Amino acid sequence: MRLANKIAIITGSGSGIGQASAFLFAQEGAVVIVNDLDVQKGTDTVEQIRAAGGNAEFIRGDVTSPTDMELLVQEVIAKYGHIDVLFNNAGISGVGALHEIEPDTLDRILSINIKGVFIPSKYVLPHMMERKSGSIINMSSCIAEIGLARRASYAATKGAVLSLTKSMQVDYASYGIRVNALLPGTIMTPFVENYLRTSYEDPEAAIASLKTRQLSGDLGRPDDVAKAALFLASDDSKFMMGSPLYIDGGVVFGKNA
Ligand SMILES: NC(=O)c1ccc[n+]([C@@H]2O[C@H](COP(=O)([O-])OP(=O)(O)OC[C@H]3O[C@@H](n4cnc5c(N)ncnc54)[C@H](O)[C@@H]3O)[C@@H](O)[C@H]2O)c1
């Protein structure tokens, strides 16, 4: 019970890595606030947590909307009095070399992936500052560290999240708040399945090729990242501040040939 009685908000937790983290955090004793844009996915996640004996509730909201996020935080504070963990997980993919990306698409990716970290944090931080305690986990990606073909917009957002994490850590360290980043490699989630389906003629061949990029020889699973998120959320990582945590099957630091 590494998160016993902790109040944890996880954005975009109706699917993939966020959902796996919601399941794991609840198993470890947290009250999980499941946030997502998608009501069906969010309520399904909460039902599954409750069926397994955990404690969770769904609050719909768009991470880019100051109104939605302010209301979400107000609702959590009114009911539970404090917030221990904020996992800024919601994000979308962006495929294409720079000249192929439409300005509107770029705005959407920048908004969800960067502003979507900034806005929930803005409303949660004053409550953590007041209690002089809290853990914020920002979802970056190993793409922040390496060049990958046709991911210009997405890579830019995940690099920004890593930089933002370091600046946030400096500003809030004196309030007892830790801010760290997760840098996953390729993890099999609906996000990646959709990207494979829409970007490659032969998704199976694409998966085989992606696997060769990993030293592990296989892609990651949502639970691999959820376990790293649990570590950052809990006091087990109390000496980690402003750090990137890689869960990438060796993509960043390894070489296969
Ligand atoms: N899957 C990977 O290989 C991988 C690798 C590195 C980083 N990431 C990052 O991990 C995070 C989660 O990815 P995933 O693969 O689990 O994706 P996913 O698509 O399975 O889940 C993302 C969830 O976020 C929700 N969401 C999207 N926009 C939102 C918004 N504006 N407000 C609230 N919720 C919103 C979606 O409805 C969805 O349920 C993303 O930030 C992604 O960039 C994923």
Domains and their CATH numbers in the chain: 7-185+222-246 (3.40.50.720), 188-219 (no CATH)
Instruction: Say if CB 89 and CB 13 are below 8 A apart.
Output: yes
Task: Tell me which of 25-29, 118-122, 196-200, 208-212 is least confident.
Answer: 196-200
Which residue has the least CA distance to atom 19 on ligand 1? 191
Q: What would the mean pLDDT of 235-253 be, rounded to a whole number?
A: 97
Element (H, E) at 205: helix 203-213
The whole-number pLDDT of residue 86 equals 99
The whole-number pLDDT of residue 109 equals 98
Q: What would the mean pLDDT of 28-50 be, rounded to a whole number?
A: 98
Residues with Cβ within 8 Å of residue 165, at least 6 apart in sequence: 138, 140, 179, 180, 181, 242, 244
The whole-number pLDDT of residue 75 equals 98
Cα–ligand 1 centroid distance for 257 (angstroms): 31
Q: What would the pLDDT profile of 185-238 be if each residue is shown by its tens digit? A: 999 998 888 888 888 889 899 889 888 888 999 999 999 999 999 999 999 999
Instruction: Say if CB 250 and CB 215 are below 8 A apart.
Output: yes
Which pair of tokens denotes residue 157?
């957002």
Tokens 């109390």 found at: 238
**CA distances for 85 relative to 3, 25, 37, 48, 168, angstroms:** 9, 10, 20, 21, 15
| Catalytic (active site) residue 172 | no
Instruction: Say if CB 154 and CB 94 are below 8 A apart.
Output: yes
Which pair of tokens denotes residue 244?
């990137």
Which residue has the least CA distance to atom 14 on ligand 1? 16
* CA–CA gap between residue 6 and residue 176 (Å, rounded): 16
Element (H, E) at 150: none
**Among 123, 154, 172, 246, the one annotated catalytic:** 154
The whole-number pLDDT of residue 199 equals 82
Instruction: Say if CB 43 and CB 217 are below 8 A apart.
Output: no
Cα–ligand 1 centroid distance for 91 (angstroms): 4
Residues with CB under 6 Å of ligand 1 are 11-12, 14-18, 35-38, 41, 62-64, 89-92, 112, 116, 139, 141, 184, 186-187, 189-192
Which pair of tokens denotes residue 126?
């004053």
Q: What would the pLDDT profile of 58-111 be if each residue is shown by its tens digit? A: 999 999 999 999 999 999 999 999 999 999 999 999 999 999 999 999 999 999
Which pair of tokens denotes residue 60?
């719909």
Q: Tell me if residue 76 falls in helix, strand or coil.
A: helix
pLDDT exceeds 80 at position 54? yes
Report H helices in 13-145: 16-27, 39-51, 66-80, 103-110, 116-131
Total residues belonging to the chain: 257
* CA–CA gap between residue 254 and residue 213 (Å, rounded): 9
Cα–ligand 1 centroid distance for 12 (angstroms): 6
